[in-house]
């Protein structure tokens, strides 16, 4: 008899067969959804289950596709899974995890997160920015009004994108942002290059792949330009002639830096990375959600009519929509919730396992990357009736919300790392949607009918919707 201790058998989750060197990458390449990883992963999970093991090149990754597995990871084992995996592209864009989004779980993340919740994105601060939102939405309404008088279709995605970017610029850095267009373009480029699965991230230790790939070079260029612009604003603020400001996000951060109010040194680098986080996480997500909401409304005239009647009723006789009565728009809130269920802008998000543990009966080793497929979970037929249909009424008289307590519905994530921008994003989305429904009637351009309306996502984190017609409504 031997006394040698046998190593505990590791019961890893199942997954599709792997090839040497490329692992599971061929399953993505051969999938009809090769450019839409959330869809390709859902197809695979139909065979391999809610916790599925993939290997992207040399990097193993677990994919979570059910509410039950998500709850174990994001609630029961929240502390074990509250880090994010680093990768060459994420390392470049965050300059080694300096901001909040890609920061591993550590003391600095805890401090930054506290600042974010207590000082920057809390209810009070969001309310303080009300005039900026109302101002920018009114400007959008005027722009659409003058364009639709010419009878031309409106490119709504472009308009919504500008709206959210303009609001984000004003509340983060104030009215002035030198090189604004270059900055927004580079943030957009960086988000595009940094989402999805790239070759450099699949072979992180291969110098050859890194040398051959244009992704890292492009990202490095974006990164340099973005930080150059943010840091020049920070320097300008430090000069004696700078106009004193007290309420944009950058000035709050600079005040905290000056008061040495944090446990660690809030360097200009950390502030710059944090400002970039807000643009990267905040702009595209809210504008893409609005775009999807309009796409669904135009495709579902019954819902459009109901939402529009409610808005016109609540704001009847008013010259414009203000934030005063937005909370009376109960159906509009259901429309936004249903949009986020079917079309979460962050289709999946990443976490990292900090300690080996057991999830729904499988072993998850320390260091494993986890992709939570929010998109698949929101369409899981085990949780949702007629899961593929757009039915805002399903949330009527239901306690299910997106605050991270209902794991069948997690468009903003859940647990310690849940999105800190929920209040901020909701305020923009509600006002913009209500205003555009109040002032305009919407329909597809001539020659396009709802059956031809393509509702498949474009690659990356965002989506392109077709052009829509806005026409000035006959308001009383
Ligand atoms: C419809 C709009 C938005 C959606 C659907 C969304 C979704 C998400 C998701 C899924 C995560 C990952 C959560 C997790 O790991 O559990 C996240 C993280 C984050 N979001 Fe959002 N987001 C939105 C808008 C915003 C806005 C407007 C801001 C800022 C102004 C923002 C800032 C952040 C930040 C900083 C993180 C990283 C938090 C951390 O790692 O601690 N987001 N968001």
Is the CB of 278 inside a 6 Å radius of any atom of ligand 1? yes
pLDDT digits (tens, 9 = 90+) for 273-314: 999 999 888 878 999 999 999 999 999 999 999 999 999 999
420-424: average pLDDT: 96
- Give residue 1's pLDDT: 44
Report which secondary-structure segment, H or E, holds 207: helix 207-212
Within 281-353, strands assigned E span 349-352
Phi, psi dihedral angles at 156 (to 5 degrees): -70, -35
Residue 326: pLDDT above 80?
yes
Tell me how far the alpha carbon of residue 92 lies from the centroid of ligand 1, in angstroms. 20
Tokens of 411: 């468009």
- Say how far apart CA 172 and CA 116 lie, in whole Å: 13
Q: How far is CA 437 from its chain centroid?
A: 24
Q: Judge whether residue 239 has pLDDT over 90.
A: no
DSSP-H helix ranges across 239-267: 249-258
3-state secondary structure of 226: helix
Percentage of residues in the chain having pLDDT higher than 90: 68
Mean pLDDT, residues 162-170 taken together = 92
- Ligand 1 pocket, residue 288 CB under 6 Å: no
Mean pLDDT of the chain: 88
Task: Please count the structural domains in the chain.
Answer: 1
Measure the CA–CA gap between 61 and 313, rounded to whole angstroms.
50
Binding site feature residues for heme:
419
pLDDT reported for residue 151: 78
Cα–Cα distance list, 169 to 134, 179, 270, 437 (Å): 15, 12, 18, 25
Banded model confidence at residue 370, pLDDT cuts 50, 70, 90: very high
Instruction: Give residue-wise pLDDT tens across range 57-75.
Output: 999 999 999 999 999 999 9
263: number of Cβ within 10 Å: 11
pLDDT digit string, tens, across residues 380-400: 999 999 999 999 999 999 999
Give rounded-to-5 percent helix, strand, coil for the chain. Answer: 50, 10, 40
Asked whether residue 430 is domain-assigned, the answer is no
In a domain, 70, yes or no: yes
Say if 303 falls within a structural domain: no
* CATH number of the domain to which 263 belongs: 1.10.630.10
State mean pLDDT over 217-244.
82
- pLDDT of 372 strictly over 80: yes
Residue nearest to atom 20 of ligand 1 (CA): 419
Which atom of ligand 1 is the closest one to the Cα of 289? 1
Confidence of residue 443 (pLDDT cuts 50, 70, 90): confident
Q: Is the pLDDT of residue 91 over 70?
A: yes
Q: How far apart are CA 339 and CA 293, in angstroms?
A: 6
What's residue 33's pLDDT? 86
Dump the DSSP string for 172-202.
HH-S--TTHHHHHHHHHHHHHHHSS--HHHH
306: Cβ below 6 Å to ligand 1?
no
Residue 438 and residue 474 in contact, taking contact as beta carbons nearer than 8 Å: no
Give 281-284's long-range contacts (Cβ < 8 A, gap of 24+): 281/101, 281/419, 281/421, 282/164, 282/168, 282/421, 282/424, 282/425, 283/161, 283/164, 283/165, 283/168, 283/184, 283/187, 284/161, 284/164, 284/188, 284/191, 284/345, 284/461, 284/462
Q: Is 183 inside a domain boundary?
A: yes
Average of per-residue pLDDT across 150-161: 87
**Pick the residue with more confidence: 363 or 3?**
363
In this model, does residue 458 exceed pLDDT 70?
Answer: no
Residue 4 in any domain: the answer is no
- For residue 366, count other CB atoms closer than 10 A to its CB: 11
pLDDT exceeds cutoff 80 at 214: yes
243: confidence class by pLDDT, cuts 50, 70, 90:
low
Q: What is residue 194's predicted lDDT score, i.e. its pLDDT?
A: 75
The residue range of the domain holding 245 is 25-285+344-419
pLDDT given for residue 179 in this prediction: 79
Taking a C-beta distance cutoff of 8 angstroms, is the pair 341, 319 a contact? Answer: no
Euclidean distance between CA atoms 425 and 474, whole angstroms: 30
Region of poorest pLDDT, from 44-53, 121-130, 320-329, 437-446: 437-446
pTM, entire model: 0.93
Residue from 403, 386, 411, 401 nearest 333 by CA: 401
Burial degree of 432 (CB within 10 A; 0-12, 13-18, 19+): buried
Ligand 1 atom having least distance to the Cα of 116: 35
Lowest mean pLDDT among 35-49, 204-218, 416-430, 446-460: 446-460
Question: For 212, what's the count of Cα atoms within 13 Å in the CB-facing half-sphere?
Answer: 10
Where b means 16+ CB within 10 Å and e means fewer, 275-294 reads: bbbbbbbbbbbbbbbbbbbb
Task: Compute how many other C-beta atoms are within 10 angstroms of the C-beta atom of residue 410.
Answer: 28
- Distance between start and end Cα atoms, the chain: 92
> Which residues are annotated as part of the binding site?
419
CA distances from 128 to 37, 118, 124, 348, 427 (A): 38, 14, 6, 31, 11
Could you tell me if 122 and 423 are in contact, meaning their C-beta atoms sit under 8 angstroms apart?
yes
Between 3 and 177, name the one with better pLDDT: 177
113 lines ligand 1 (CB under 6 A): yes
394 domain-assigned: yes
pLDDT for the residue numbered 73: 98
| Whether pLDDT at 474 is above 50 | no
**Residue 453: its pLDDT value, please?**
65
| pLDDT value at 467 more than 50 | no
Say if ligand 1 is within 6 A of residue 299 CB: no
- pLDDT top residue among 149 and 341: 341
Whether 377 is in the pocket of ligand 1, judged by its Cβ within 6 Å, is no
For residues 314-336, give the mean pLDDT: 95
Section 27-40 average pLDDT:
90
Question: Is 432 in contact with 160 (CB distance < 8 Å)?
Answer: yes
Whole-number percent of the chain with pLDDT over 70: 89
* Residues with Cβ within 8 Å of residue 186, at least 6 apart in sequence: 222, 225, 226, 229
How far is the centre of ligand 1, averaged over its atoms, from the C-alpha of 282 (Å)? 7
**What pLDDT was estimated at residue 117?**
93
Least confident segment among 194-198, 315-319, 345-349: 194-198
Both tokens of residue 1?
């008899």
């Amino acid at each position: 008899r031997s006394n040698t201790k046998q190593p505990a058998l590791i019961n890893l989750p199942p997954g599709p067969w792997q090839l040497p060197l490329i692992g599971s990458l061929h399953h993505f390449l051969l999938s009809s959804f090769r450019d839409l990883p959330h869809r390709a992963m859902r197809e695979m999970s139909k065979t391999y289950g809610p916790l599925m093991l993939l290997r992207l090149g040399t990097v193993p990754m677990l994919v979570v596709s059910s509410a039950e597995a998500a709850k174990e990871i994001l609630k029961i084992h929240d502390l074990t899974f509250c880090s994010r995996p680093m990768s060459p592209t994420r390392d470049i864009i965050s300059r080694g995890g300096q901001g909040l989004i890609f920061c591993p779980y550590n003391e600095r993340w805890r401090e930054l997160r506290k600042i974010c919740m207590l000082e920057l994105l809390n209810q009070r601060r969001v309310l303080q920015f009300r005039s900026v939102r109302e101002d920018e939405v009114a400007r959008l309404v005027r722009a659409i009004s003058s364009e639709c008088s010419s009878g031309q279709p409106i490119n709504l995605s472009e308009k919504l994108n500008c709206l959210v970017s303009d609001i984000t610029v004003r509340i983060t850095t104030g009215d002035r942002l030198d090189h604004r267009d270059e900055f927004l373009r580079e943030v957009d480029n960086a988000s595009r290059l940094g989402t999805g699965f790239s070759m450099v991230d699949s072979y992180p230790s291969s110098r050859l792949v890194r040398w051959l790939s244009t992704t890292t070079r492009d990202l490095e260029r974006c990164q340099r330009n973005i930080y150059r612009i943010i840091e020049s604003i920070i320097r300008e603020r430090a000069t004696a002639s700078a106009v004193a400001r007290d309420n944009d996000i950058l000035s709050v951060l600079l005040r905290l830096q000056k008061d040495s109010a944090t446990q660690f040194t809030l360097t200009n680098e950390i502030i710059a990375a944090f400002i970039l986080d807000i643009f990267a996480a905040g702009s595209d997500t809210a504008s893409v959600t609005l775009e999807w909401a309009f796409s669904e409304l135009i495709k579902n005239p019954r819902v459009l009519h109901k939402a529009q009647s409610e808005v016109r009723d609540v704001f009847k006789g008013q010259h414009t929509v203000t934030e005063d009565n937005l909370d009376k728009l109960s159906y509009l809130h259901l429309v936004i919730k249903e949009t986020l269920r079917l079309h979460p802008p962050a289709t999946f998000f990443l976490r990292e396992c900090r300690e080996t543990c057991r999830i729904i009966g499988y072993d998850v080793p320390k260091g494993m990357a986890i992709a939570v497929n929010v998109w698949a979970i929101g369409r899981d037929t085990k949780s949702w009736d007629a899961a593929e249909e757009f039915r805002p009424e399903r949330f009527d008289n239901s306690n299910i919300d997106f605050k991270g307590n209902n794991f069948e519905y997690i468009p903003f994530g859940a647990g310690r790392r849940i999105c800190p921008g929920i209040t901020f994003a909701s305020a923009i989305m509600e006002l913009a949607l209500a205003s555009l429904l109040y002032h305009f009637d919407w329909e597809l351009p001539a020659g396009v009918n709802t059956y031809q309306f393509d509702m498949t996502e474009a690659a990356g984190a965002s989506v392109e919707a077709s052009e829509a017609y806005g026409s000035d409504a006959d308001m009383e």
